[in-house]
């Protein structure tokens, strides 16, 4: 399955800016077997962890987080870019190559006893996933793991993550 997943991810050089090789997952999403296989593989990895909430990172994280939540019998929580969520939010900033960015989540998204799984499409430098982990931790959620479709291992993003269960289905050792 992982070879099938790799084969359905397309490299787009110099997108969205020169020097970046963008991992385009739209062919994978359009392939019913690959999409279902990716969702199942991540969900099954965390099946016995008592996950109650699956938090997806806007925007491509949502695509995987929602079906993973359904498969785990858990709720779905959106982690969004600033200004998108309508109710009271908690925010966490994080470093970009130039400047900083912000992630937000509803303050009431997690309650006592909630066990969270964070989902995104790609782990690159790890800044986004690390910020999401801090954000949920500040709301009192126990973060049991992080799941992504793709890990860009040459950027060493995993070193930014706390020592929690991490799964990536497709690894790239070079750009
Ligand atoms: P980072 O915070 O550097 O780990 O970046 C992760 C976020 O940026 C994810 O939400 C990805 O969707 C996106 N991203 C970063 N690099 C790439 C890439 N080469 N191809 C596709 N998406 C990327």
- Closest atom of ligand 1 to 22 CA is 20
Give the span between the Cα atoms of 74 and 105, in whole angstroms: 17
pLDDT digits (tens, 9 = 90+) for 111-144: 989 999 999 999 999 999 999 999 999 999 999 9
pTM: 0.98
Q: Residue 165 C-alpha to ligand 1 middle, in angstroms? A: 20
Active-site annotation holds for 151: no
pLDDT given at position 98:
78
Q: Would you tell me the crossing angle of helices 60-72 and 32-45 to the nearest 10 degrees? A: 60
pLDDT digits (tens, 9 = 90+) for 141-154: 999 999 999 999 99
Pocket around ligand 1 at a 6 A CB cut-off: 20-23, 57, 60, 120-128, 157
Paired with 113 in beta bridges are: none
Which residue CA neighbors atom 9 of ligand 1 most closely?
122
Active-site annotation holds for 60: yes
Q: Which helix (H) or strand (E) holds 87?
A: none
pLDDT digits (tens, 9 = 90+) for 22-34: 999 999 999 999 9
pLDDT digits (tens, 9 = 90+) for 10-56: 999 999 999 999 999 999 999 999 999 999 999 999 999 999 999 99
Q: Residue 91 C-alpha to ligand 1 middle, in angstroms? A: 19
Report the residue count for the chain.
175
The one catalytic residue among 6, 10, 60, 138? 60
Instruction: Tell the burial category of 55 from Cβ atoms under 10 Å away from its Cβ (0-12, 13-18, 19+).
Output: buried
CA-to-CA dists, residue 65 to 19, 101, 119, angstroms:
29, 22, 6
Find, among 149, 114, 111, the residue nearest to 129 by Cα: 149
**Residue recorded with tokens 């982990």:** 133
- Closest atom of ligand 1 to 127 CA is 2
């Amino acid at each position: 399955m992982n070879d099938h997943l790799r084969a359905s991810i397309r490299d787009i050089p110099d997108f969205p800016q020169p020097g970046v090789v963008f991992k385009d997952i739209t062919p994978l999403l359009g392939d019913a077997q690959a999409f279902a296989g990716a969702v199942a593989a991540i969900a099954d990895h965390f099946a016995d962890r008592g996950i109650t909430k699956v938090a997806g990172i806007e925007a491509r994280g949502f695509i995987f987080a929602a079906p993973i939540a359904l498969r785990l019998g858990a709720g779905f929580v959106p982690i969004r870019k600033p200004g998108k969520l309508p109710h009271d939010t908690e925010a966490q900033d994080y470093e970009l190559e130039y400047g900083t960015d912000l992630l937000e989540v509803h303050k009431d998204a997690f309650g006592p006893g909630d066990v969270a799984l964070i989902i995104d499409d790609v782990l690159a430098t790890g800044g986004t996933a690390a910020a999401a982990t801090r954000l949920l931790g500040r709301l009192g959620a126990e973060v049991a793991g992080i799941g992504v479709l793709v890990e860009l291992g040459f950027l060493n993003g995993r070193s930014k993550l706390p020592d929690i269960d991490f799964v990536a289905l497709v690894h790239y050792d070079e750009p």
